[in-house]
C-alpha cells in the first residue's frame, strides 16, 4: 500500500496498463506536455512517446469517433474529455456507435474503449463545465458508466475498465483529484458492476458517490451523535448498478436515501429508487427518498451551495426518514 491522490492513482493505473499492453494508447486535448487540464497524465508522454499519447484538436466528435474505430480494429484507446460536459459533443460516437456496435454485430465486434472525463461542480466553472453526466448516459444499453470516489477505487476500477471489451465512460470528480488515500501497489483490480458497502448500519441506507459520498460521511458523523445508525453504500459503477447490494441493505434497514449531485429529474436516483422499490416494497418502512441537485443549470458565482446537497441537507434527510 502507498498513499496517493486520486489523480496519482489514475496516473498509476494508466502507466501500469500501458506497460502491460502495447495496444493501449491515450488520446485527448493537451494530455501530453501539459498533462491535461488537471495534470492527471503528467509524465506519461515522456515514457511512451507521441505515438501512444496523442494530442488532439478541440474536436470531441471527431477524435472520439476515431478512437471508436481504432477500438473495433484492435487497439484499446483511453480518451480524455477535458470536461464531462463535452460528452454532449461526442454523443454520437459514444452512445450511437460505441454502445451499440457489439449488439448490432451479434457479438462479433468488441469495443474496448474508455472515455475519461472530469465532472462536477465546486470550482465556479459555470454552466458548460460543471455538470455531472451520469443521468445523460443512464439510458444507453451497452455502455458502462463508472464513478470512483477514492484513490484505491480510481486505480482498481480504471484498470478493470481498460481491460473490459465494452465501452466505459469513467467519470472523475474534478474537486476530488487531490484527495489522498491508501492504494494497493501492482495489479489491483476492482470488478465493474459491484457496489461497496463503505459502512454498515441498521436504521437507514444512504447511497452516494464521489463528492456526495464525502458530504454524506460528514453528515453521518453528525447524526451518529444522536444515536442514528447509517449504512453507507458507494455504487462505484452507475451503469449497470448493483441492485443486489442495494436491495440487501434496503431490506435490512427498511429506509433508503439516494444522494447525487446532478438534477433530481431524470437522474440516476430515480432508477435506483424504482429498482429498490420493485424488489423491496414489503420491507420498506418509508418511501425511498432522494437528495439531489436542483433542476437548474449551474451559473457562475457563489450559487453552487444553493443548488447542490450539503452535509447539512443530507443530515436533515436522514433525521427526517428515521422519525
Q: What is the pLDDT of residues 234-280, one digit of tens each?
A: 999 999 999 999 999 999 999 999 999 999 999 999 999 999 999 99
The one catalytic residue among 128, 129, 260, 306: 129
Residue 300 binned pLDDT confidence (cut-offs 50, 70, 90): confident
Q: What does the pLDDT average to over 208-223?
A: 98
Q: Which residue in this structure is represented by grid cell 501500469?
A: 16
Q: Does domain 196-321 have CATH number 2.40.50.100?
A: no
In the chain, what is the greatest distance between 2 CA atoms, to the nearest angstrom? Answer: 60
Q: What percent of the chain has pLDDT over 70?
A: 100
Q: Which residue in this structure is represented by grid cell 494530442?
A: 55
Whether 124 sits among the annotated catalytic residues: the reply is no
Q: Does domain 2-183 have CATH number 3.30.460.80?
A: no
Q: In this structure, what DSSP letter does residue 246 have? A: H
- Render pLDDT for 89-118 as a digit per residue (tens, 0 to 9): 999 999 999 999 999 999 999 999 999 999
For the chain, the structural domain boundaries read 2-183, 196-321
Q: Report helix, strand or coil for 315.
A: helix
User: Is the pLDDT confidence value at 174 over 80?
Assistant: yes
pTM (2 d.p.): 0.96
Look at residue 139 in the predicted model and tell me its pLDDT.
95
Mean pLDDT of the chain: 96
User: Is the pLDDT confidence value at 301 over 90?
Assistant: no
Same topology for domains 2-183 and 196-321, yes or no? Answer: yes
Identify the CA nearest to 323 among candidates 227, 192, 245, 234: 227
Cα–Cα distance, 187 to 225 (Å, whole number): 40
Look at residue 211 in the predicted model and tell me its pLDDT.
97
DSSP 222-233: HHHTTT--EEEE
Cα–Cα distance, 218 to 281 (Å, whole number): 29
Amino acid at each position: 500500500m502507498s498513499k496517493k491522490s486520486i489523480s496519482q492513482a489514475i496516473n498509476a493505473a494508466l502507466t501500469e496498463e500501458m506497460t502491460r499492453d502495447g495496444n493501449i494508447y491515450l488520446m485527448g486535448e493537451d494530455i501530453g506536455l501539459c498533462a491535461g487540464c488537471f495534470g492527471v497524465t503528467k509524465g506519461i508522454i515522456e515514457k511512451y512517446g507521441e505515438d501512444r499519447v496523442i494530442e488532439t484538436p478541440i474536436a470531441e466528435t471527431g477524435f472520439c469517433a476515431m478512437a471508436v474505430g481504432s477500438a473495433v480494429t484492435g487497439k484499446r484507446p483511453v480518451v480524455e474529455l477535458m470536461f464531462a460536459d463535452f460528452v454532449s459533443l461526442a454523443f454520437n460516437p459514444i452512445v450511437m456507435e460505441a454502445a451499440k456496435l457489439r449488439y448490432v454485430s451479434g457479438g462479433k465486434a468488441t469495443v474496448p474503449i474508455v472515455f475519461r472525463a472530469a465532472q462536477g461542480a465546486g470550482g465556479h466553472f459555470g454552466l458548460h463545465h460543471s455538470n455531472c453526466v451520469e443521468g445523460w448516459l443512464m439510458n444507453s444499453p451497452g455502455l458502462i458508466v463508472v464513478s470512483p470516489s477514492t484513490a484505491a477505487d480510481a486505480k482498481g476500477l480504471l484498470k478493470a475498465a481498460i481491460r473490459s471489451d465494452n465501452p466505459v465512460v469513467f467519470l472523475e470528480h474534478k474537486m476530488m483529484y487531490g484527495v489522498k488515500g491508501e492504494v494497493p501497489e501492482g495489479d489491483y483490480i476492482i470488478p465493474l458492476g459491484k457496489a461497496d458497502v463503505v459502512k454498515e448500519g441498521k436504521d437507514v441506507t444512504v447511497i452516494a458517490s464521489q463528492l456526495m459520498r464525502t458530504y454524506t460521511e460528514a453528515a453521518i458523523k453528525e447524526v451518529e451523535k444522536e444515536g442514528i445508525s447509517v449504512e453507507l453504500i458507494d455504487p462505484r459503477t452507475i451503469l449497470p448498478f448493483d441492485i443486489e447490494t442495494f436491495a440487501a441493505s434496503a431490506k435490512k434497514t427498511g429506509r433508503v436515501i439516494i444522494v447525487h449531485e446532478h438534477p433530481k429529474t431524470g437522474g440516476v436516483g430515480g432508477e435506483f429508487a424504482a429498482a429498490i422499490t420493485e424488489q423491496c416494497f414489503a420491507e420498506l418502512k418509508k418511501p425511498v427518498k432522494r437528495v439531489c441537485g436542483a433542476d437548474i443549470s449551474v451559473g457562475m458565482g457563489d450559487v453552487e451551495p444553493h443548488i447542490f446537497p450539503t452535509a447539512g441537507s443530507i443530515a436533515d434527510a436522514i433525521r427526517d426518514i428515521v422519525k
